[in-house]
Structure 1
């Protein structure tokens, strides 16, 4: 049986983002990966049921990656066995007028998971140090004091944002939210192939936008800022995992197994015990129900 050590994908500062592969050897025998995936997915859903009853922790899963890196299909497959009440997915797009009337973290705060539940951020608060970094003119939409032009953005602006994001994640972690962040590390060539498939398959045409090609020309800028952001914000309480994403099935398994491995470390997650008086009278309640006509 093949195994994957999920610690291999954890960003601990010993390597740069560019040192992480976009593809690794798939040593699983035929159908073995699918079998292990289904087993782990079922085990995670059972653990989530226990977490829901325990009602002390929540889990925030953050997914980032270049366009076509497989975020949507990963969410669909990884959380397929979850009870619908146990997971909520938020896809953050361009901030709307209401969201722009608040600070950039506001819309993420109000989407945080309740105790006992999972929230998946499909694109996250990191867009505010990625897309806005590549396109700094977007910052002007936030109507920030003292910033009337791109040239007026101070040099320390982005470092301050990293600090604010780390503080945000520390705050929610200290209050019971388990934070796990995944960068789906896709190669430029694999993206090209996936974009071509979008054009070739009518049912996927709707996903294609000419803007995809414009952003693709900024590939190196995005990677550079991803590397900087991940390096500045991968902390013990909110680690980044850099997942090779050229192979979609393997990427999904790595994310699934990572979530499961981390949650297994929380030994205090268990079903609540019945009140002593209720426990003592279980046979009485059973008899009462059985004698109903």
Structure 2
């Protein structure tokens, strides 16, 4: 299959959509990102990559980082993690306070904001403090991406902290239900730090390989998760990876995936490849408008939907 030709066709077909979405202006540091950018990368099991567009441009991975923190927490706590975090689709916006209150401080899944904040809390408890947790999360992402130079954008994380009132409210609400162990400020700050990690589509498509290969990185041979645990992460990505648009994404694209408000989307083709697409303009649900269509076109052209 000529993947480069397919990527070139996709880039051509979505060109008219690149300025249709809206950037995440509720995070001031992301507000000035040029929406007319598009990049897409595929990484195969032998390390071969195919790219198109702005694939070398670094962007804020935002909620894509939730896949990586969930992976670490699942590795350390196994099924015990589900005592404090659910695994069902939310059907509500990613920062809903109403649902969290109604469900007594137990986040519906690890990919909504409350769930990811709770996961961050578990990692802080495991590592002992916020500084070590941030360092270990970064080290893990550097390892799976094969990029030791990765870092986070301090301006973005500070901007998020300065305007993170709703996330602080989510954390405080969980604390009030005794479902958060560490200091609320420290947990939210650590959460924003991993959301502000910067990567490009090449790095992210490479980072998803272990999830497309039953938990084992096909290039390095390192086992990051058991086969059962990798299956769980992929299942939650499929059902919960796009917030209240997860059903639409499964319907149109048909791959386990996770979006971020920085405009990135990662996806997994089991036993074949990792994918990342980036376009900063978002749809009403906070997912990349052009990126979502690009992935739909990809599965339509290749027949690689899991369905």
TM-score by length of 1: 0.27
Tell me which structure has the larger Cα radius of gyration: 1
TM-score by length of 2: 0.26
Higher RCO, 1 vs 2 (CA within 8 Å, ≥6 residues apart): 1
